[in-house]
Each structure stands twice: as C-alpha cells, then as structure tokens.
Amino acid sequence: MPIRIPFKIGQPKKQIVSKTVERDFEREYDKLQKLEDQTKKLHKDMKKSTEADLAMSKAAVKISADLLGNPLCEQDQAFLESMTALDTAMKRMDAFNQEKVNQIQKTVIDPLKKYSGVFPSLNMAVKRREQALQDYKRLQSKVEKYEEKEKTGPVMVKLHQAREELRPVREDFEAKNKQLLDEMPKFYQSRIDYFQPSFEALIRAQVVYFTEMYNIFSELTDQIDQAGLTDEQREKETEAKLSELRALSIVADD
C-alpha cells in the first residue's frame, strides 16, 4: 500500500495557473525589470556626461583666463592678441556647451527620470498580483481539504463556505493576472515611441554644438595661425627654443 504524503494547506494539488501562463508572465516581467535597470543606468550616465561636459568647458575658460593674465601679455602684443582670441573662443564654447547641456536636460535626462518613475507602480501591481495568487492558493487548498473529507453535513457546510470564500479571490487574481499579461507587453513596446524623440533631440543638440565648435575653432585658427606653420614645423621650432633654454648656464647640468 503506497504511503500517502500529508497535504499541506497553502499548496493546492490543483494547478491553478498553467505553466505556460506563468512562463509568459515571468518572461514579460523580466523584460520590464531589465528595461528599468537600463533606463536608470542611462539616466545616470547621461547626467555624468553632461556634468563632465560642463566641467571641461569651465576648465577651458579658466585656462584661457589664466593665460590672458600672464605677465607676458603686457610685454608682447602678438601674444596678447592670441590669448584674447583664445579667451573669447573658450567663452563662446562654454556658452554653447551650456546651451547644449540645457537642451539635453530637457529633452533626454528629464524624460528618462519621468520614465523611471513609472516602474514603482508597475512593481507594486506585480506584488499585488503575487499576493492575490498566494491568497488564491491558500483558499484553493482549503477547498480541496474539505473535498477529501467524508461528506458529512458539517463538512459540506464548510466546503460550501470555503468555495464561496474562494470565488471572489479567484476572480480578483484572474483579473490582476489578465491585466498585467495584457499591459506589460504594451508598456515594453511603448519605450520605442517614448524614447525616439529624446534620442533624436540628443543627436540634433550634438550636431548643432559641434558645428558651432568647428566654426569657433576655425576662426580661432585664422586669428592665431599667422605664420601658417604646420604642426611638425611648430614642434621643431619648440624643440629649438627648448635647446636654447637648456644651453643657458643656469639650467645646465653639473
């Protein structure tokens, strides 16, 4: 005679959710969890990127201001003109960079933050579905317990009561489960329509910025590159000047 394993309340014998439905649910929710992680990471990386951009242009302005304050500018008119042109270019770069960052903040970073703000509600809906499933299992096992007992009057009354208690709980779970299975794929697909305008705005902001940078530095090159020397010629000229400095007795090796 086979040994009968006692049945525990909370684990019904009857499979109340098919493996296919549960697998579909887990697959869709897993996609949304990954989307949430990716959205948060992208939001964080975009903030870091704009902060680094601003730090770069502010540092460039500081450097040009320091060079403009160099005592050499008081002694060499050509150097003063070059440093003035550089300072003006760096300030223009900083202004355009600030404008670009403001645009990215409004069109990319803020929408990312708002999108991330939707996930807590989604996760709460999944938790409510899980709680409804546990209640459903608990009451289903209770019904099964009475169905296995001898059909006496008191048992039949308790069975009827258990079934009545189960019905609204089962309907609640099925409604929550259906809603999530219907809406999770729609939410996942909506990411394309939501983010596409943001990424297009990001590209436009970068194109405008780098176009302006090209114009600014082209003008700067025309202003300071009077001799028309190549980079190689400038490097040789610098090495020659450095050799002259090293030849001075005050810097000569002992």
Q: Residue 41 is part of a domain; what is its CATH number? A: 1.20.1270.60
The count of structural domains within the chain is 1
Q: pTM value?
A: 0.79
Asked if the structure places residue 151 within a domain, the reply is yes
Asked if the structure places residue 232 within a domain, the reply is no
> Average pLDDT of each block of 10 consecutive residues along the chain (254 residues)?
38 76 94 96 97 96 91 84 93 97 97 95 96 94 90 89 94 96 95 95 96 94 74 83 80 62
Asked if the structure places residue 180 within a domain, the reply is yes
- What Rg value do the Cα atoms of the chain yield, rounded? 36
pLDDT in the model for residue 254: 53
Asked if the structure places residue 14 within a domain, the reply is no
Yes or no: say if 159 and 175 are a contact pair by the CB < 8 Å rule: no
Rounded to the nearest 5 percent, the helix, strand and coil shares of the chain are 85, 0, 15
Yes or no: say if 88 and 68 are a contact pair by the CB < 8 Å rule: no
Q: Which residue has the tokens 């258990």?
A: 162
Asked if the structure places residue 129 within a domain, the reply is yes
pLDDT in the model for residue 8: 43
Asked if the structure places residue 127 within a domain, the reply is yes
In the chain, what's the furthest Cα-to-Cα distance?
Answer: 117
Asked if the structure places residue 177 within a domain, the reply is yes
Asked if the structure places residue 247 within a domain, the reply is no
Range of the domain at 198: 37-221
